[in-house]
Amino acid sequence: MRIHKEGYKVILLTFTVLVLLTAAVAFLIPLAALRYVLYFGFLAHLTWTMRFFRVPKRKVNLGENHILASADGEVVAIEEVYEYEYFKDKRLLVSVFMSPFNVHVNWFPCDGKVIYTQYHPGKYLIAKHPKSSLHNERNSIVVEKSPGIAVLVRQIAGIMARRIVSYALVGNKARQGEEFGIIRFGSRVDLFLPLDAKINVKMGQQVRAQKTVVAYFR
């Protein structure tokens, strides 16, 4: 377990603010019981912030035909949809919603080559909302496993998220289970899969990135 590099500044800023608030509470609030309640709240907030940026150490569930979850969280959509941005045809959509308590690092679902990336500014609707994939701030990455076989991974900001980070660049080699980015504070990741992919999860299931096989390539 380690802290993600994107969290260093946030944690330091949070710590600094909480130290100042602690000093203010000690000086301004004479009631001891109330002070201790506030101190506990400050500590809980700092602990949660540090935990949010945790990066677990996991053994990747490697497999030639595996399509792994790119994020920890709950499966909130499994359906056939029209993918408007890149493929411009029908695809199988599997969406994973990340609560503020989930790990928010994102990993590649399969091996391949990054052939497309595109960031889109947008709104901050609740990430579980079906229209969040179209209207929220988002970042799309297409990994081509082999000619004619590709997966689109879409990072979507949620109502709390205010920053999507992606390190994927066109031409990069994607390695299954390798980190490609992080979304800060509540969000969603959509996987657009080939229509003949065999789905291996169900609605409401909790999945873990790098471990859970969302689907299999045929």
Distance CA 218, CA 215 (A): 9
Listed in sequence order, the residues at least 6 apart from 126 whose beta carbon sits closer than 8 Å to its beta carbon are 132, 158, 159
187 in catalytic set:
yes
CB atoms inside a 10 Å sphere around CB 119: 12
Pairing state of beta strands 206-207 and 112-120?
A: unpaired
Element (H, E) at 207: strand 206-207
Distance CA 129, CA 108 (A): 24
- Residues annotated as catalytic are 187
